[in-house]
Chain A
């Protein structure tokens, strides 16, 4: 496959991710509201919020430096880049300069996190610093889990390239029946929960409480900066959902580029991601946020799940 397809892939994947991501944010909110017996916001509320924020005034703290000013841009660019790593609708055949490298994807997310944590410290506010401290703690403890999950996947599929992993899934008839992939899908789901700061790790609903992590870092962001940060958070969530979906239920994901295929693929991804969002929303409503220092126990659980997959593969090979 030639370069022009890859360029089309980049542009398509990027815009698709940007356009659909905010929807899942409001969908999860809506589901949670239903669970709590409320009506909840409209399904397009996140889009309105983002547009409103773009027009709002930007306020910077007098103690903050350029880190605060550049972080939203770094964040959005890095997340857009990482969206190229995860094909949502169709898989380009060229290796694409190694864009599919799983480590590249994870470390791009880490780069965004690094700057977000710095911006949390920048204003000198105790809330922001607390958020940064906790975020870095969680990501540090969680990193081995993520790596082991992907190492297990790489081990099973014999590649460290996301594109090839997806192709592998597309070519196998029932990937979710494969015990190793099934075990890994649990881990991938927990990764989705942890990385998008949801219960039981973090509570996205709370503001100005000592429980918050991710929101605390964004506290000093205003106006369009906040819009960029929220948009990148939404895209990140979509990408992590896509990892789970396209590995386990890759139906609709296409490998050759056709017009109808793209439309159908986009539609099926949308449906599958909506289902995952509903599950996330229901799960979030049914469990409480756990204590920060109890999180390592949860992480250890995920860790053993993925290590189990490796053991499974090693001894059954």
Chain B
């Protein structure tokens, strides 16, 4: 049996397991027995392992496996192909899903109704299936079909706590955005099909540029909405806090990566965008990265903070993709490879550390019962394991060595550094501007995670919520522990992995560097032990507080206090609305009776982009409602007739 067949069989076995895991809870929807859910989760776990095993040889040996699942007509068939890129994304999806599934074992048990627990298990499994199928779909029909399943299952998952008003708003917002995304994808795909004459994703090289530009823009918007690129990012900070943490981990870790897959696949395989496309991607990436982290800094809701960081990291991935396009346009193959590998490596790294952070944050939220980090603090002593897991994630996302986030950002940095090879002054200046903003982004991310970790876990508890917190159960530690280990492994072995896969990149060998670090750490500890021998024991005493009688949590720095200097520097971005209402008891407005004042952050995108569009749509639908408010059926028949006629004319025009 060849390696292809083994991989394919393993893959199909995995998918069958996963589907059965998805269907099983549906059969016993109202049954409260834990074992049913557990068996379903276990089979999902096994299937993820199988899928990883199936995909690894494809990535390592660069195989191409093509198969047809179901043929409806000649045009409409579900054809799949697993190549290196797909297999890479399958591994990403499966690995994150694996840890989320383990985490879910005890996470979903805190919900009350059985039907909800079972539904979540079922939906998560369907969600994973649909994401895996999206990345292996070879034709548009299959792609859109699974893309829609992915969108709808994730919508239902966001709506898990549908009773809350916040969730309802988030769900609706998400639903509209996700449908818009599909709409733009359909535009793009139809255009591709029109040009190439086939519903498979074919290479479009040598096609007239106007059509390709249209396809590029509409697909970029379509995928961009799903990936959360600024200015289409607003659904992320709504949907993530509203949904359960395991769902957030999956959505932020994996689902937005599926959109990245779409962009990468288009850029690499389908049509090489022109130079302006690369510049466009680069600028969009820079804006997303910078605004994502700047908004994250002011955020005190831990899950919303993480959601904003997803926007930032998608921006960083886009920087890599944009560099790839620009370098390819100048035929700089080595630099282009470095950039796209950086982007892809950052994709998997972000998937890993973001799911880790969301799971750890979920544990914290479950233990404290609040998402506001101002009410936390002191958790490092109450939840030691969760806090160390969160720390690993925080260090990785801040791109600090030797963790994985560092390596991928380093690759993108190196791409920028060598942009001197471009030989176009204006472009070089643009590149260096983007580079400095990217540097700003990554250091602001570090500042933000010092805040997130420091305020959440360190110092004294700031409220009873965190005072009474206890460590979460075992599965909720093992689940995030897998990505935590991967953060270290992917970082330390990064250059070895790339060499193994056949890419020779100019990145530092972190394995050597970490071994030197370990040796010097041991040496330092020994030297300090020998030379620092004192007759005094270690003393534990109160924090020195400039002569105050006793330290209390009210004196501690708050999250807003911590980020205040940065907010002050970036004042123009955080414009605020001050709203004051006063009532006076006399007509000359002299005797103040009661009042109300509010300072609200000015949401630029909501005010200038979303609301105008929403108002426009509302106006049109109000006008349309007038037509609809007719009681007689004959006018409806007339509408149908006119529509039919119009379609015929339009159809005749084009064919």
Contacts and interface: CB of A to CB of B under 8 A. Distances in A.
Contacts of B378: 63
A67 B453 CA distance: 11
A259 interface: no
* Nearest 8 interchain pairs by C-beta: A98-B508, A129-B557, A124-B459, A143-B443, A121-B454, A147-B439, A57-B536, A136-B447
B435 A148 contact: yes
A66 interface: yes
Contacts of B435: 147-148, 151
Given A63-B459, A81-B513, A293-B568, 11 more contacts: A55-B532, A73-B524, A110-B443, A111-B401, A126-B555, A129-B459, A136-B446, A140-B440, A146-B439, A151-B416, A223-B534
A111 B176 CA distance: 41
Contacts of B449: 114
Nearest to B436: A144
Contact of A104 (B395, B410, B546): B410
B543 A62 contact: yes
Contacts of A220: 543-544
Nearest to A80: B520
A107 B401 contact: yes
Contact of B506 (A78, A98, A208): A98
B485 interface: no
A99 B513 contact: yes
Main SS at interface, chain A: helix
Interface residues of A, number: 85
Given A62-B541, A65-B380, A73-B525, A110 B446 contact: yes
B183 interface: no
B428 A219 contact: no
Interface in B471-496: 495
A271 interface: no
Interface in A115-167: 117-118, 121-127, 129-130, 132-134, 136-137, 139-148, 150-151, 154-155, 158, 160
A223 B563 CA distance: 31
B495 to A, nearest CB: 7
Contacts of A103: 410, 413-414
A73 B523 CA distance: 11
Interface stretch (A20-28, A177-185, A250-258, A309-317): A309-317
A80 B401 contact: no
A56 B528 CA distance: 12
B460 A63 contact: yes
Contacts of A84: 516
A62 B410 contact: no
Interface residues of B, number: 84
Interface string B531-561: 1111011111111111000010101110001
Contacts of A114: 395, 398, 400, 446, 449-450
A77 B429 contact: no
B29 interface: no
A199 B28 CA distance: 70
B513 A144 contact: no
A283 B378 CA distance: 42
Interface string B501-529: 00000111100110011001100110010
6 contacts: A97-B508, A99-B508, A103-B413, A117-B450, A144-B439, A219-B544
A307 interface: yes
Contacts of B414: 103, 160
Contact of A147 (B436, B450, B542): B436
Contacts of B460: 63, 124
A148 B432 contact: yes
Nearest to A65: B380
B562 A81 contact: no
B531 to A, nearest CB: 5
Contact of A133 (B406, B508, B533, B563): B563
B532 A54 contact: yes
Nearest to B514: A81
A97 B568 contact: no
Contacts of A125: 543-545, 551
A303 B436 contact: yes
B141 to A, nearest CB: 44
A237 to B, nearest CB: 19
Given A55-B532, A81-B513, A107-B406, A154 B543 contact: no
A123 B400 CA distance: 23
B536 A67 contact: no
B622 to A, nearest CB: 47
A54 B564 CA distance: 37
Contacts of B417: 150-151, 154-155, 160
B152 interface: no
A292 B565 contact: yes
B573 to A, nearest CB: 14
B551 to A, nearest CB: 6
A174 interface: no
Contacts of A292: 565
A315 B532 CA distance: 57
Contacts of B555: 124, 126
A51 B532 CA distance: 8
A50 to B, nearest CB: 10
A212 interface: no
A150 B401 CA distance: 19
B381 A315 contact: no
Contacts of B450: 114, 117-118, 121, 132, 136
A58 to B, nearest CB: 5
A134 B564 CA distance: 9
A163 B298 CA distance: 40
Contacts of B655: none
B436 A148 contact: yes
B399 interface: yes
Given A114-B395, A147-B436, A139 B443 contact: yes
Interface in B401-449: 401, 406, 410, 413-414, 416-418, 420, 425, 428-429, 432, 435-440, 442-444, 446-447, 449
B80 interface: no
A92 B457 CA distance: 43
Contacts of B432: 148, 151, 307, 310
A121 B400 contact: no
Contact of B447 (A51, A54, A101, A140): A140
Nearest to A117: B450
B457 to A, nearest CB: 8
Contact of A66 (B380, B524, B528, B556): B380
B459 A133 contact: no
A59 interface: yes
A142 B539 CA distance: 38
